[in-house]
A and B are shown apart, each in its own frame.
Chain A
Amino acid sequence: MAATKEEIVSGLADIVNEIAGIPQEDVKLDKSFTDDLDVDSLSMVEVVVAAEEQFGVKIPDDDVKNLKTVGNAVDYILAAQA
């Protein structure tokens, strides 16, 4: 069953917390992974792979660079689930 938008945000918050040590409540739709959440380009790969596993989607390398904010990632996962 596809995850809802809220479930994806919450899941990403747990992943970012696990990988970058950022408190879950800081992971909001408008936050930039690199500028606001201390997720550098390599950590971003770990976030993406964890998200792929959790939400059962594929996020190719070429698309990773377009995921600037948490909102970008949530929208991508929602569309990929459909």
Chain B
Amino acid sequence: MTSKIRPSKGAPYARILGVGGYRPTRVVPNEEILKHIDSTDEWIRSRSGIATRHWAGPDETVAEMSLAAGGKAIADAGISASDIDGVIVATVSHFKQTPAIATEIAHRIGAGMPPAFDISAGCAGFTYGLTLAKGMVTDGTARHVLVIGVERLSDLTDKEDRATAFLFGDGAGAVIVGPSDEPAMGPTVWGSDGEKSETIKQTVSWEVYRDTPAGDVRFPAITQEGQSVFRWAVFEMAKVAQEALDAAGITADQLDVFIPHQANMRIIDSMIKALKLPDHVAVARDVETTGNTSAASIPLAMERLLATGQAKSGDTALVIGFGAGLVYAATVVTLP
């Protein structure tokens, strides 16, 4: 029996058509962090590789940073805002659970009334969004999807916690995923490990504030078990990254660029060792001047590698996001 349902018809393949980023104006050096914690610049640099980060001002909201990054990505892709027929925003620091920020961004950026939604997948949020966008384009339910990773993690930073006060930064990164005649996004290797759901987390649940007199409970911050996260990120994520390379049929020798989530320089260095990446592979080290911007880190790092000439359009890049959940997603893409 023949089905009566007419199937959707998408593009043969999908690709990243453009990338854009927004970094808040204010640069915060380690010296400023050290006003609130008993530590040293040398300690912070040796544990994290971070020298400076950007913290957003009152006007640099999640929406405004998203619009700035999204606008750049649209221009870079050479399309019009009205061509966008899908908007995905990955974030953990948009402080309204409803409505999603994606609808406001779709409207204000000039995309009309496309499907728009937020996703919560921690520092893997961008690569999760990338994967959903690819599916939408190849399925035919969208033709040009705006994927944004955006965070104001300074709002979720305990400035007096010497283990995390220096770690996080703010910013937004965006890409346009659109149709392609040839493969330009490999299979995504992704998953979660809920047994480790307490390893990276928000310290206080919002409902506590409903039941507690105002001012009695400190505003939540992101906290993590450093050693557990480090072990998982380096050794388990190196395996995932290798699986993504294998799934795409790309050898380390054929790889041009490696863009891991910018969590910590020590994680990046150890992953390179574990993956045995050859010297010719350009590695994103944006964490040094951007800090850990969770869902925004990969598109921000991608934009900077292209802007500084360390990577070029058409290069083959391995991207991997990993973080709170724990969740992860890795794939191989052609750079826009």
* Chain B residues packing against A (C-beta within 8 Å): 46-47, 225-228, 230-231, 234-235, 266, 270
Contact = CB atoms under 8 A, between A and B. Distances in A.
A61 B227 contact: yes
Nearest to B232: A61
Interface centre among B225, B231, B266, B270 (most CB of A within 10 A): B231
Contact of A61 (B47, B225, B234, B266): B225
A42 interface: yes
Interface residues of A, number: 11
Nearest to B48: A42
B273 to A, nearest CB: 9
Contacts of B230: 42, 45
B46 A45 contact: no
Q: Is the interface of A mostly helix, strand, loop or mixed?
A: helix
A45 B47 contact: no
Q: Is the interface of B mostly helix, strand, loop or mixed?
A: helix
B231 A49 contact: yes
Interface string A61-75: 100110000000000
Interface string A40-82: 1110111011000000000001001100000000000000000
A78 to B, nearest CB: 22
25 contacts: A40-B46, A40-B47, A41-B227, A42-B47, A42-B226, A42-B227, A42-B230, A42-B266, A44-B227, A45-B227, A45-B230, A45-B231, A45-B234, A46-B234, A46-B270, A48-B231, A49-B231, A49-B234, A49-B235, A61-B225, A61-B227, A61-B228, A61-B231, A64-B227, A65-B227
Given A41-B226, A42-B266, 20 more contacts: A40-B46, A40-B47, A41-B227, A42-B47, A42-B226, A42-B227, A44-B227, A45-B227, A45-B230, A45-B231, A45-B234, A46-B234, A46-B270, A49-B231, A49-B234, A49-B235, A61-B228, A61-B231, A64-B227, A65-B227
